[in-house]
Amino acid sequence: SEPGMELNAASPGGKRPENKDEEKVQDPNTGEAETKAEMGNKTWADLAGEMKTFLWNPEERTCLGRTAKSWGLILLFYFVFYTCLAGMFAFCMYVMLLTLSPYTPTYRDRVSPPGVMIRPYLNGFTIAFNISKRSTWQPYVDSMHHFLAAYDDKVQEEKNIECISGQYFIQGGNESEEKKACQFKRSLLQNCSGIEDQTFGYSRGQPCILLKMNRIIGYRPGAGVPVSVDCKVQKGNESDLRSVDFYPGNGTFDLMYYPYYGKITHVNYTSPLVAMHFTDVKRNSLVPIQCSLHGKGIVNDVNSDRFLGRIIFMLSIGK
Amino acid sequence: SNSLTFCLLQFSLSFGIQDDHKLSASELEEKYGTSINKGLSSSRAAEILARDGPNSLTPPKATPEIVKFLKQMVGGFSILLWIGAVFSWISFGIQFAQGAESPFDNLYLGVVLALVVILTGIFAYYQEAKSTNIMASFSKMIPQQALVIRDAEKKELPAEQLVVGDIVEIKGGDRIPADIRLISAQGCKVDNSSLTGESEPQSRSCDFTHENPLETKNIAFYSTTCVEGTATGIVINTGDRTVIGRIASLASGVGNEKTPIAIEIEHFVYLVAGVAISIGVLFFIISVSMRYKILDSIIFLIGIIVANVPEGLLATVTVSLSLTAKRMAKKNCLVKNLEAVETLGSTSIICSDKTGTLTQNRMTVAHLWFDNQIYSADTSEDQTTQPFDQSSPSWTALSKIVTLCNRAEFRPGQENLPIMKRVVVGDASETALLKFAEVILGDVMSIRAQNKKVAEIPFNSTNKFQLSIHETDDPNDKRFLLVMKGAPERILERCSTIMINGKEEPLDSEKAEAFQTAYMELGGMGERVLGFCHLYLPENEFPDTYPFDTDSMNFPTSNLCFVGLLSMIDPPRSTVPDAVSKCRSAGIKVIMVTGDHPITAKAIAKSVGIISATSETVEDIAKRLNIPVEQVNRREATAAVVNGMELKDMSLQQLDDILCNHSEIVFARTSPQQKLIIVEGCQRQGAVVAVTGDGVNDSPALKKADIGIAMGIAGSDAAKNAADMVLLDDNFASIVTGVEEGRLIFDNLKKTIAYTLTKNIAELCPFLIYIIASIPMPIGTITILFIDLGTDIIPSVALAYEKAESDIMNRRPRNKKKDRLVNEQLAVYSYLQIGIIQSVGAFVTYFTVYAEQGFLPSTLLGVRVDWENNAINDFEDSYGQEWTKYQRMYLQWTGYTAFFVSITIQQVADLIIRKTRRNSIFQQGLFRNKVIWVGIFSQIGIALILSYGLGHVTALNFIPLRFQYWFVAVPFAILIWVYDEVRKLFIRRYPGSWWDKNMYY
């Protein structure tokens, strides 16, 4: 019948192109070169050539796909755009800074309650030396002297006034007025003043360590009762630390040094200190010591911040 | 049968049915060790089953799940993140070995990065598995039963258990359960469309009629359908060894092309990874030369990579695509492969089947000719009346013949269904006539009952007519009525008179001429024409008791009275012309590829608009100008109808020529194999080709196409397996809605990516400035991950719901090479403009937070080393206050949160501007896309929860933020919006200008 003939006619001639097609299906590299090229089947040489033309096309005189004029325009556009943006940034910052007081930060919630630091501070919280070897403790002594230079009695008398002990030294008036600072004389530190014993006890194995409470503007520590300091062995045998002397007073920060008014108006303010004289510490072993502040409003037991209201350091005194 | 493919031939010759069709019944019995009467014994059958395996097609070899999963783990940005994770662990190892204080940060960061990769990988894998499952459930069919003779008993068995040598019986309506050599058949016809794509039923008998096993009538193939009649046969091939099984395995050999969207996403991943790596390496070198420690430099590198990689984006793209897939499924396009969603949108050529896709897939009466006049009938899908003039007595006579000379019947129990939907037993033309009569006359069955049939000669190919003799329903008229229908010229030969306005008039040459004209006209419309005639037998010669004998034909079959012509066609679906014109305006070329006759194909092409009313083929021009075809200038013809026979002799060059030079093309009488050639031809033109198909033989073309579309109703399983998409309603118009969705998702993905990329700069700048200016770290790596995978996810998905900005069906399909998903303009605008604005806004917030706590910007510059020194616990700020390390860290985390919040706030503005690329937001409508607002609220909600809800979980580095810091970046958010409106305004005002070219993405 008719259809049958058609098929017979079709089969012998038709088979060959069919085979060709099948080959093409299996071999992705023949034909459709353009589409394949897009898919990254290019050779490295092609790629390099293309890259070169992209970088500099001598025919169209384009660099990175743009002519000089086009580059000029686009660079001009971005220059104007970024200038405007920078202007807006500057304006916003200016407005923001206008809202700030130069004397008191807007918020003081992150910096209080106060943290604690010690001196001498070289590069860590381990104070280790051999009494017999001067070179091991001399850096600590130098650090102390350097730190206490600002507390020299003469300097203090010259710059600062004597205040009434036992009460906050509140200075009213205009915020921008310069504030007076109370004298904290080095001599108050007695055995740890470095006046009589120039080595702060280091040469005798009885080191002095100064404790300093972080400054916070307007902060009144202790709410009327002076904040005191005590020290104990942090971990281990309590008897490793047998005696500590505190100066001045019994290791308290006198109220008259507070509040602090900020570095612009309270120029000569010197932070009050408590000196801890470790007169009898176990020798030849690393003794971890924690010194804490005590007082109303003082926090000294936060796990995440080991310098809040307390400080932990190591003492290792050798012969 | 003419559309059998070459591959079929090859396969049948090489493996084959061997020569089973040539053997006699007894030889077959011997060969297969069976008995035609008794069948196999159960035990023997079990043995063969154990040897050959079940009679089912092995599903295409699936990629092992673990491989699929691992692919997701290393695809896209995952590699970069793995590198980041490994670096984190290495630096953890080094720090741990050195006994540093907090090495665990890096360990956690590595774990988090690994978790991000694994979780996004699991998500992508899950999405893929879900879409595969839809398909799996879809292709699951009700287990087929077969009637088998075993142990000399007839048994119903699941078709899977059939073995070679089994004797099976089939009847009309059954699916052939295996390849079968028929040994007896009564009026058996099979529909081989699942094999060849041709729906014309072919008769089957037990005679060996052709050398070629595929041509011979005594073999019925697995998965084809028996339309009518009954047959018995021996199973000669089962499962994968059947002809269909071989073709199915052939289809799986045709490689799948990468989808356009996959290429685009790959391009985008390369781009972003390139930026990430170059900035990372550049700053690694800078930080090393700035005397940072190598370890620190590595940590910076990780931060830069994390900031640059849009971790959530690939998941977002997947979700957007699957949302569109869901929307398309509602519109009857079931997408198997998510990426195919977009492919449909970039389609530039659709090669469509005719039957069933463009047409209704059922014969319908289209025209009538009686009383010397042509009448048109309604061919729509849901006709309930016929509007043509039915007053003529000739129509009454014609309608009687149509009703009576017809063996088709409705299946019982369908009285409540609309006539057009009822199932009919009978062939296509008779069905058309039955329905046509039922619509006009009402209850055809009772009319037939009133005109009792006394004799009948069914249609056969020698006579080419069908005849029946009836009593009349007029009790006063005792004459018998002889009615006849058939090929018009054969019917006319038997007539001597013709009925005009109810009166019989002699059939003179003038009237015969009129008949010829009408016949030619109807035939020229591609319609199948039938002639109808009748004769009232004189009562005296043929009394009540006359014994009609159909074998001797003891009644007149000539000198009849010609009544009229009816012509039938498979009419186009009513929605198709509109869909085709939409394709046209969308720049999509529709090519019809059919196995049908060129005239029919052309007629349908014209009626649906594939060939427009004004365009002509070469042949048309030749006819109009009255010159030979060869002299016609081929360039003048916009349309072309190409016969499969011509196509066979064409070189690839010639085919390319046709595809290039004609905008309206119809391929007729093509085999499914030629379809593959046509598809490849289109792809050579650089087109993205969609192909529809239903037959098994279409599967190679479906696979080869950029997007294969299988028919959900008529399609074979093999076609559905090979396709990327299944049209649930077989309707061409559904493809067009799919195209629309595909184009929309491409636009929207562009927006999503632009949105996501923008904040990468705001995440990256902090690192760069941290390294260069040595300020405290503005934002943490973990915080960045919370933006990428937290606040930004829902908004970027929400952009997938954005409505189109303009009529996307009025523009040309995108050019694969030029219209990239992520182009230079998009990257530059997002990175260098909006991204920079965002960074500036976030830095303003950062500096504000620090300044209000006591660290003025001038103090911050260069403090990094002391700031990060754990031992310095009396760090002095601008006011003289002293800070412990932890207090500074807490402030730093507050800075992270502030930076994070600022980015989030500005991302709200970014989200709003990304709703459109060209139109003003006010043209688009702020509130039309409600999902965007869900996105905005979720974004702010998540930020609130992170800051206030999880603000006390230290590991996350979020801090409850002061309320006012949420608003510091608002001016910059407004700037982003205003600037973008200005950009769009200039783009609209000055199309083609420098601004348009550089600013439109």
Task: Supply the pLDDT for residue A81.
Answer: 95
**Most confident region among B357-366, B617-626, B707-716, B928-937 by mean pLDDT:** B928-937
- Residues 258 through 297 of chain B touching chain A, CB cutoff 8 Å: 258, 263, 266
Task: Supply the pLDDT for residue B252.
Answer: 57
| Interface with chain A: mutation pick from B648, B682, B878, B881, highest number of A CBs within 10 Å | B881
| SS3 assignment for B243-259 | HHHHHHHHHCCCCCCCC
A297 touches chain B (CB under 8 A): no
For residues A227-233, average pLDDT: 92
CA distance linking residue B194 with residue B843, whole number of Å: 66
pLDDT confidence tier of residue B17, bands split at 50, 70 and 90: low
The shortest C-alpha distance from B205 to chain A (Å) reads 16
Which residues is A217 bridged to in the sheet? A260
pLDDT confidence tier of residue B193, bands split at 50, 70 and 90: low
Check if the beta carbon of residue A266 is closer than 8 Å to that of residue B881: no
| Interface with chain B: mutation pick from A2, A96, A211, A306, highest number of B CBs within 10 Å | A96
The Cα angle at residue A225 between residues A222 and A230, in degrees rounded to 5: 75
Residue B513's Cβ-count burial label (10 Å; 0-12, 13-18, 19+) is: exposed
Is pLDDT of B253 > 60? no
In the DSSP assignment, the letter for residue A115 is B
pLDDT tens by residue, B875-891: 999 999 999 999 999 99
Task: Supply the pLDDT for residue B645.
Answer: 85
Dmax (CA) for chain B in angstroms is 135
Q: Which of B20, B174, B353, B570 is catalytic?
A: B353
Q: Do B853 and A308 touch (CB under 8 A)?
A: no
pLDDT tens by residue, B814-830: 887 788 888 889 999 99
pTM for this model (two decimals): 0.79
pLDDT confidence tier of residue A34, bands split at 50, 70 and 90: very low
**B462-482 burial, b for 16+ CB within 10 Å, e for fewer?**
eeebbbbbbbbeeeeeebbbb
User: Least CA distance to A124: which residue of chain B?
Assistant: B871
Is pLDDT of B256 > 60? no
Is pLDDT of B636 > 60? yes
Neighbours of A2 (CB within 10 A): 8
Q: Do A38 and B816 touch (CB under 8 A)?
A: yes
Distance of CA B658 to the CA centre of its chain: 26
B596 touches chain A (CB under 8 A): no
Annotated active-site residue B980? The verdict is no
Q: Which strands sit side by side in the sheet containing A241-247, from one edge to the other?
A: A116-119, A208-213, A273-281, A241-247
User: Least CA distance to A302: which residue of chain B?
Assistant: B886
CA distance linking residue B152 with residue B149, whole number of Å: 6
Distance of CA B662 to the CA centre of its chain: 26
Element (H, E) at B644: helix B644-649
Residue (of B623, B387, B367) closest to B518 by Cα position: B367
- Structure tokens of B421? 């939907």
Is pLDDT of B905 > 50? yes
Q: Do B882 and A214 touch (CB under 8 A)?
A: yes
Task: Supply the pLDDT for residue A68.
Answer: 83
Give every CB contact of residue B215 below 8 A, 6+ residues apart in sequence.
A4, A7, B1, B4, B209
Q: Do B975 and A88 touch (CB under 8 A)?
A: yes
CA distance linking residue A288 with residue A311, whole number of Å: 10
User: DSSP for A235-253?
Assistant: SS-GGGEEEEEEESTTTEE
Better pLDDT: B186 or B787: B787
Better pLDDT: B136 or B998: B998
Count of helices and strands (H, E) across chain A: 6, 9
Residue (of B76, B92, B160) closest to B124 by Cα position: B76
For residues B300-309, average pLDDT: 85
The shortest C-alpha distance from B817 to chain A (Å) reads 8
Backbone angles phi, psi at B22, to 5 degrees: -90, -15
- Residues 18 through 47 of chain A touching chain B, CB cutoff 8 Å: 18, 21-22, 24-26, 28, 31-32, 34-35, 38-39
**For chain B, what's the residue count?**
1001
**Most confident region among B194-208, B382-396, B691-705 by mean pLDDT:** B382-396
Task: Supply the pLDDT for residue A6.
Answer: 36
Q: Do B840 and A89 touch (CB under 8 A)?
A: yes
Is pLDDT of A40 > 50? no
Task: Supply the pLDDT for residue A21.
Answer: 37
Percentage helix, strand, coil for chain A under 3-state DSSP, each rounded to 5: 35, 20, 40
The shortest C-alpha distance from B972 to chain A (Å) reads 9
Is pLDDT of A10 > 50? no
Give yes or no for a cis peptide into B547 (omega within 30° of 0). Answer: no
Task: Supply the pLDDT for residue B541.
Answer: 87
pLDDT tens by residue, B112-167: 889 888 888 888 888 777 766 655 544 444 457 788 988 888 888 888 888 988 99
Query: How many percent of chain B have pLDDT more than 90?
Result: 29
Give every CB contact of residue B627 below 8 A, 6+ residues apart in sequence.
none
For residues B356-381, average pLDDT: 88
A262 contacts in B (CB within 8 Å)?
879-881
Q: Do B684 and A24 touch (CB under 8 A)?
A: no
Distance of CA B445 to the CA centre of its chain: 42
Amino acid in the structure at residue B740: E
A310 touches chain B (CB under 8 A): no
Residue (of B402, B407, B531) closest to B457 by Cα position: B407
Backbone angles phi, psi at B639, to 5 degrees: -105, 155
The shortest C-alpha distance from A175 to chain B (Å) reads 14
- Structure tokens of B87? 């670096």
